[in-house]
Structure 1
Amino acid sequence: MSRGTKLSLDLGSSWGEGWSIEEEKTSKVLTLLDPSAHRLVFQKEKRKGKVVTLVGPFSVSEDDGQKTLSTLKKSLACGGAYKEGWMEFQGEIAPKVREALEKLGFKFKNPK
Structure 2
Amino acid sequence: MAKGEKISLEFGSSWGDGWSMEEEKTSKVLTILEPSAHRLVFQKEKRKGKVVTLVGVFNLSEEDAQKLLSTLKKSLACGGAYKEGWMEFQGDIAPKVREQLEKMEFRFKK
> Normalized against structure 2, the TM-score is what?
0.82
Residue segments in structure 1 that go unaligned for 5+ positions in a row? 1-5, 15-19
Shift of 1:27: 0.7
Secondary structure in 1 matching 2:42: strand
Q: How many residues align?
A: 102
Percentage identity across paired residues of the two chains: 80
Tell me what 1:33 maps to: 33
Secondary structure in 2 matching 1:45: strand
Tell me what 2:64 maps to: 64
Identify if the C-alpha distance between structure 1 residues 64 and 13 changes in structure 2 by more than 3 Å, giving closer, same or farther.
Answer: same
| Alpha-carbon separation, structure 1, partners of 2:72 and 2:7 | 57
Shift of 1:7: 7.2
Shift of 1:85: 0.4
Identify if the C-alpha distance between structure 1 residues 8 and 106 changes in structure 2 by more than 3 Å, giving closer, same or farther.
Answer: farther
| Alpha-carbon separation, structure 2, partners of 1:65 and 1:94 | 18
Instruction: Please give the per-residue CA displacement for 1:9-45, whole angstroms capped at 9, x wherever unaligned.
Output: 445547xxxxx75431111111110000001000000
Identify if the C-alpha distance between structure 1 residues 68 and 7 changes in structure 2 by more than 3 Å, giving closer, same or farther.
Answer: farther
Residue segments in structure 2 that go unaligned for 5+ positions in a row? 1-5
1:83 partner letter: K
> Normalized against structure 1, the TM-score is what?
0.81
